[in-house]
Amino acid sequence: MIHYERDADGELMLSRYQIVPVTEPAGTREMLSRALGVLAEVRKYRTLLTRQNVRLHLDRVDELGDFGEIEAVLDGHDGLAAARAAVNELLAELRVDADELIRLSYFELMTRRWKPGCASR
């Protein structure tokens, strides 16, 4: 299981996450679904490319489409400026403008697009 905390810091979204192994994924999913309900299900297919400490995720997300995500892995706050520069360089090379960036998670996109009781997803 992965828990994310994301904070906006100007142009960057800073993420902290915790990963906990699940020994019985099917049973855990079923139990959590019954206990909490399901708001959205994100199914994605990812191709991962890396360049130094920068990861480029090429995702195909069922019901949403195709996306790219750039993630710079930091080793402390000293690397923030370098990470920002690396991400900006890659965005420039890919010719992606700031107004084309989406600041929502796939989950947020799914829940805004589809509401319980709606006929179409």
Do the domain assignments include residue 118?
Answer: no
Q: CATH number of the domain that 61 lies in? A: 2.40.320.10
What pLDDT is recorded for position 10? 61
Chain position carrying tokens 């920002």: 84
Do the domain assignments include residue 64?
Answer: yes
Do the domain assignments include residue 88?
Answer: yes
What pLDDT is recorded for position 16? 81
Cβ-in-10-Å burial (0-12, 13-18, 19+) of 85 comes to: exposed
Do the domain assignments include residue 22?
Answer: yes
What pLDDT is recorded for position 11? 63
What pLDDT is recorded for position 98? 83
Residues of the chain with pLDDT under 70: 8-12, 76-78, 113-121
Print the domain residue range for 58. 2-113
The total number of structural domains that make up the chain: 1
- For residue 54, what are the contacts with CB-CB under 8 A and spacing of at least 6? 70, 71, 72, 73, 83, 86, 87, 90
What pLDDT is recorded for position 103? 82
Our separate counts of H helices and E strands in the chain read 3, 5
